[in-house]
Structure 1
Amino acid sequence: MTDAGHDARHEVRDAGDTERRTHDVVVYGATGFVGRLLAEYLARNAPSGTRIALAGRSRTKLEEVRRGLPRAARDWPLVVADAVDEVALRSLAASTTVVATTVGPYLRYGLPLARACAEAGTHYADLTGEILFVRKAIDECDALAKASGARIVTACGYDSVPSDLAVHLLHQQAQHDAAGGLLDTTLHARAKGGVSGGTVDSSRAQLDAVSTDRRAVKTLFDPYGLSPDRNAEPDLGKERDPMAVFRDADTGDWVGPFVMASFNTRIVRRSNALRDHAYGRRFRYRELSAYGRGPVARGRATAFTVGLGLAMKAMGDDRTRPVFDRIAPSPGEGPSEKTRRTGWFSMKVRTTTETGRRYLATVTAQGDPGYAATTVMLGEAALALALDGDRLPPAAGVLTPATALGDVLVDRLRRRDFTLRVEEIPSA
């Protein structure tokens, strides 16, 4: 299905620069589990005439993937580039307006490609949920990207598009209503879906880095670890990610730790800082998993929290990791088609403003959140970067979905049947 509203092409750069780039979007990692899903999504949904290429380290596997895609993709060019071949990555980056990469763990494999894009003035979108990778990308690529005009956009999937856009919309509504800055803001997440080997491998990569680098530990546990200027952040006391099960006083739900809170909260705080703390200097943000009311919900919350703790302990202990590795899915494996089709997610974000007004943002979608829905999010982010340049926020550097794409991505996702809305709720 083609997005007819975007058949008209939007130039991202001047005409000369666009003409010398062979592709609009390159899908890097097209032979992996999520890469194949992304390629199929673009084949079905990219506007007619969009120049898309598939990239990876094996031409044979790329050809196999292309043969299995819808007819629109049968003539897509193939680009061979290994994640450790910096010459090939620079050539790839120079050939396209956007690279959408699914090759992780990003901490192991992602930085050379991000750097190549930053140097070439090529926009970049990934699916990372890795704090340490984003920190390295900021330190090594932000200045390069600002100089070249590239948007290096991390976390363009379930981590962290729903979180980042929800708070973006809350801020917009509060601003429109002259309600003042945002204060205490809490996300409640509910979801049904599966887990892939790539997600597990990303967690392993971060644990390995922490075991050999004390500075990495500090970054992981700093709520402002992804800030562009740590010294400019407000002192709001300890903003730790909740790790216990408790009953939320505002909603009555039993809640517990949300597995991606430690990453998403830092992306949202980075958005605030990149906007010169437009959300407010007293903006406090946390994320929780919500299970509903009653004893059954409390039991589910407790069971998940205990299981999460045991899994992280097993993964981080050399004695138990071999056992964990045998149980966990391997890289390249992911949930079944049925799981991807029947999954869903719902995120509800409540905030109180400086004037006492309260708002609720809701972001929902059908499809497994980490795969079906994530494919839509990354695909639409890549198309926005390639085709909507004149409507995007004026920004360059290592960015977040909200600061790089903002309302353009909101509009695109709404056209793909995502719910993104804000409403005012009665004061407590």
Structure 2
Amino acid sequence: MAGDRFDLVIFGATGFTGKYTVKEAARLAKEKSISWGVAGRRKEALEAVLKEFAPDFDNIPIIIADVNDEESLKKMTEQAKVIVNCCGPYRFFGEPVVKACIATRTHHVDVSGEPQYMERIQLEYNKAAQEAGIYIVSACGFDSIPCDLGVIFTQQKFEGEVNSIETYLNTWKTENAAGGAAIHYGTWESAVYGLAHANELRELRRKLYPEPLPDLEPKLKSRGKVHKSALSTGYSVPFPGADRSIVIRSQRFLYEKYKQRPVQIQTYVTFKSALSLMATAIVGLFFSLLTKCECGRKLLLKHPKFFSAGFVSHEGPKPETMENTHFSITFKASGWTEKLAEPTDKHQEPPNKDLITKVSGVNPAYGATCTALLLSAITILKEADKIPDNGGILPPGAAFAKTSLIEELNKNGFKFEVISSIEK
């Protein structure tokens, strides 16, 4: 890559996630000695974001680029070593940026939690990214760095062979947290279109992965629609986000690349009370039904606050709400103390070891997301030699398993920890 490029350029810097990515870039730039710029459609808006979120920096480069203007995207990407893409929904706006990055040999990270987009891009552009020698890594935010790298962390700490992992997500607010919306409209919009097009995934995966993963025993079964667990206080249900699909993609890559036994995964989210579970279920039911038709989708997008019971707004959450929102994901790994020679070899005894780990932090949707996104970009800059294949489209666990990203996250607001280890 050309030596005169900026290390990072944040594209979509005037959006809700983009603004907080700028704020985090201002913090990390001094610590990591990186050069960076911002990009978007309107110079005045970009100047206003820099003034508000990076007031201690003078003369941050501003690049004008529009997803509907291919040449402007190429002019932007050729000025960066890594594009930090905050311009979603990626279903609509992601592909042109990926194409520009491939054309100009520029790495790319984003915070997509849209499986259809991510898997289609991998199917259609992985070979081109490899030939260009660049990495395209999606899901570098709350979807799905804590879960995907949490699984990698758990495998590294297990000291044996992991058969299965169950994860439990908890979020909570401290007493002094402000009320109001918790999610910005852009996240809601991505979810609307993601669920509406979920039927695309089966055919995509058939093309992307013609060979099935090995048949592993004992099989990890879902615990059903609602259950209680000793790992998480409250009522747990299957987590509807992208975490499970991201982990499966990473585990498949590690199996195919390194002949590592792939972990079976089930992901859950816990509600503290039956009332909160019922309220969420009602909202989810209406959401699911309305995404099935165009008129329903229009209603969801026109009235997000109403259909989310106040959880979503165009303004997004207040800063005090974000800073007083906490999360944890608890991982229960089950497996064996001994590792067999081949990943498909069958153990003669049932699993004889459990390991409990946890990943936790603050402000998952925007603070932790922006930190993880930028540290992912910086890891590509500084540790490309530890990322496999010299290029390609990878999920985070596959890309960063052998890097220091977990260690860097631990220094910047995340906590990866071992809770207990039990041999049976």
Q: Same fold (TM over 0.5)?
A: yes
1: CA distance, partners of 2:71 / 2:224:
44
Match of 2:148 among 141, 152, 164: 164
The one of 301, 322, 343 equivalent to 2:277 is: 301
Letter aligned with residue 190 of structure 2 = S
SS at match of 2:255: coil
| Equivalent residue number for residue 186 of structure 2 | 198
Q: Which amino acid aligns with 1:30?
A: A
Whole-angstrom distance in 1 between the partners of 2:279 and 2:313: 26
SS in 2 for 1:84: coil
- Counterpart of 2:5 in structure 1 is 22
Which deviates further from its counterpart, 315-324 or 408-417?
315-324
Once the two structures are superposed, residues 4-46 of structure 1 have per-residue CA deviations (whole angstroms, 9 ceiling, x without a partner) of xxxxxxxxxxxxx341x42110000001111011011111222
Distance in 2 (alpha carbons) for counterparts of 1:393 and 1:207: 32
State the partner residue of 1:347. Answer: 329
Aligned position for 2:267:
287
Distance across 2 between alignment mates of 1:196 and 1:145: 31
Q: Contact conserved, 1:124 with 1:153, CA < 8 A, in 2? A: yes
Query: Which residue does the alignment assign to 1:378?
Result: 373
TM-score by length of structure 2 reads 0.84
Structure 1 position 416, deviation (Å): 0.9
Q: Which residue of 2 aligns with 1:417?
A: 413
Give the direction of change, closer, same or farther, for the CA distance of 1:241–1:103 in structure 2 (3 Å limit).
farther
- Mark the CA change 1:125 to 1:282 in structure 2 (over 3 Å): closer, same or farther: closer
Secondary structure at the counterpart of residue 426 of structure 1: strand
| Matched residue, 1:147 | 131
> Residues 78 and 218 from structure 1, CA distance in 2 versus in 1: closer, same or farther, beyond 3 angstroms?
same
1:71 & 1:252 partners in 2: Cα distance? 42
Determine if contact 1:258/1:289 at 8 Å carries over to the other structure. yes
Residue 116 of structure 1, aligned match among 100, 104, 110: 100
Q: In the TM superposition, what is the alpha-carbon distance from 1:256 to its structure 2 partner?
A: 1.1
Contact map agreement 1:196 1:333 (CA 8 A) in 2: yes
Alignment of 1:238-317 (within 5 A): 244-248=225-229, 253-260=234-241, 263-276=242-255, 281=261, 283-291=263-271, 297-317=273-293
1:105-164 deviation line (CA, Å, top 9, x unaligned) = 101110111122133321111000101110121022211111122110100000000011
Q: Which ranges in structure 2 are unaligned for 5 or more consecutive residues?
A: 174-181, 306-311, 338-351
Aligned residue pairs total 392
By how many angstroms is 1:359 displaced? 0.9
Q: Which residue of structure 2 aligns with residue 358 of structure 1? A: 354
Alpha-carbon distance in structure 2 between the residues aligned to 1:412 and 1:37: 19
Amino acid in structure 1 at the alignment position of 2:202? K
Q: Check the 8 A contact 2:196/2:291 in 1, yes or no.
A: no
Aligned partner of residue 73 in structure 2, secondary structure: helix
TM-score of the aligned structures, taking structure 1 as reference length: 0.83
1:188 matched to 2:168? The reply is yes
Q: Which structure 1 residue ranges, 5 or more long, are not aligned?
A: 1-16
For the 8 Å contact 2:22–2:54, the answer to whether it is kept is: no
Q: CA deviation at 1:93?
A: 1.6
Is 1:81 the counterpart of 2:65 in the alignment? yes
Once the two structures are superposed, residues 233-290 of structure 1 have per-residue CA deviations (whole angstroms, 9 ceiling, x without a partner) of 2346998977611223776753113231xx2111111111111256854631010012
CA contact (8 A) 1:245 1:302 kept: no
CA distance in 2, matches of 1:299, 1:427: 37
SS of structure 1 residue aligned to 2:91: helix
- Relative distance call for 1:159 and 1:123 in structure 2 (3 A) is same
Matched AA of 1:197: Y
Matched, 1:328 2:340: no
Matched letter for residue 70 of structure 1 = A
Q: Measure the CA separation in 2 of the matches of 1:226 and 1:105.
A: 24
SS at match of 1:104: coil
RMSD: 2.8
